[in-house]
Amino acid sequence: MEEKHVVIGAAGALGSAIVGVLSGLGKSVRAVVRDVDRARRVLPPEADIVIGDGANAESVRLVCRNATVIYHCINVPFEKWYTVMPAITDNILAGAREARARLVFPGNVYGYGPLRMTPANEDHPLAATSKQGQLRNELERKLIDANLMADVKVVIARFPEYYGPNVTNWLMSPIFQAALDGRTAAWPGKLEVPHDLIYIHDAATACCILGSSEASYGQVWHVPGAGPITGKQFIGMAFEAAGTKARMKAMGRGYFRVRGMFGSVAREMTELVYEFEEPMVLDGSKFAGAFPGFRYTTHEHAIRQTGNWYGQHLDVRR
């Protein structure tokens, strides 16, 4: 029987990249989205686009039918995480259980809190100090328990911050827009602190590799990217790719405290800015040892590709 890969949240940055990787490998992919118009803009033309709502248990059950591997790529704004994500994750877990499918869950580093050692390996304590990190840990615990109980096979890929085409978040969008316009780009925390960042295509490829490897399930895998880079270096490369003179500034805790009085993203960042004040570097040796043929895209090339994408999609700059 042909494998069926189901990507839930397929119109988002990571979900669309996963659909692209799987389609390029000739895999049968069901791309589950809420916004068909956006999906048609970001997904390959051959994608099998299906409307589904992660918050609706019956909808998730239907889109997971006959799935072999399910990719949980739904993300929501910070302020909706606490009210929406637990139910969405429960629904996807139930859909995977009924379909007897394996589940790939892309994670992040929020659950660690400030790193106690660098580079941090997968055994680093889950000592989240932020509300979102604590919620992340609760969701991952539920998924790991499902795997331990032989209920659903689950693998967790743990990533640093993404950048690349379709990544239009609070951090990356302003940097690449500033580089194109020749304005000052801002970086949270300290400009000189090393930080892992991963190109979205590399993150998607890693998810597909882990999803297709039976031996990877029941484990957490660090996939850190092409190597630590400082904010100063990253912004400098973005401006160089745009052909403009680099101009940058740091945003400290005080900035986010003030902005947090008016916006939810800044309020969340007040709790997470520690990531950019001290080195945030992951140990990716476990993944590298298990999949020695995998190669990261260099930051130089990936940043050029990202800048080109921003330059071609003027609507995201408005």
pLDDT by residue for the chain (318 residues), tens only, comes to 689 999 999 999 999 999 999 999 999 999 999 999 999 999 999 899 999 999 999 999 999 999 999 999 998 887 788 899 999 999 999 999 999 999 999 999 999 999 999 999 999 999 999 999 999 999 999 999 999 999 999 999 999 999 999 999 989 999 999 999 999 999 999 999 999 999 999 999 999 999 999 999 999 999 999 999 999 999 999 999 999 999 999 998 776 665 544 455 666 778 889 999 999 999 999 999 999 999 999 999 999 999 999 999 855 544
What does the chain come to in residues?
A: 318
Gap between the Cα atoms of 290 and 282, Å rounded = 16
pLDDT for 187 equals 96
Helices (H), 25-130: 36-42, 57-63, 81-99
Q: How far apart are CA 230 and CA 190, in angstroms?
A: 9
What is the pLDDT at residue 212? Answer: 96
Decide if 130 contacts 78 (C-beta within 8 A).
no
Write out the H or E segment, with its range, that includes residue 51.
strand 48-51
Furthest-apart CA pair in the chain: how many Å? 57
Residue 211 pLDDT = 98
Locate 263 and state its tokens. Answer: 């916006």
- Cβ neighbours, 10 Å, residue 1: 5
Burial of 166 (0-12, 13-18, 19+ CB in 10 A): buried
Report how many helices (DSSP H) and strands (DSSP E) the chain contains, helices first.
12, 13
Residue 141: phi and psi, rounded to 5, are -60, -40
Quick check: 134 and 121 in contact, CB under 8 A?
Answer: no
pLDDT number for residue 318: 43
Residue with tokens 């640093």: 160
Three-class DSSP category at 35? coil
On the CB side of 248, CA atoms within 13 Å amount to 23
Strands (E), 150-296: 154-158, 161-163, 185-188, 194-195, 197-199, 220-222, 229-230, 248-251
User: In three state form, how does the secondary structure of 103-138 look?
Assistant: EEEEECCHHHCCCCCCCECCCCCCCCCCHHHHHHHH
Classify the C-alpha dihedral 42-50-18-141 as positive or negative: positive
Instruction: State the pLDDT at residue 267.
Output: 64
Helix (H, G, I), strand (E, B) or coil at 7: strand
Element at 4 (helix H, strand E): strand 4-8
Q: Are 265 and 78 in contact (CB under 8 A)?
A: yes
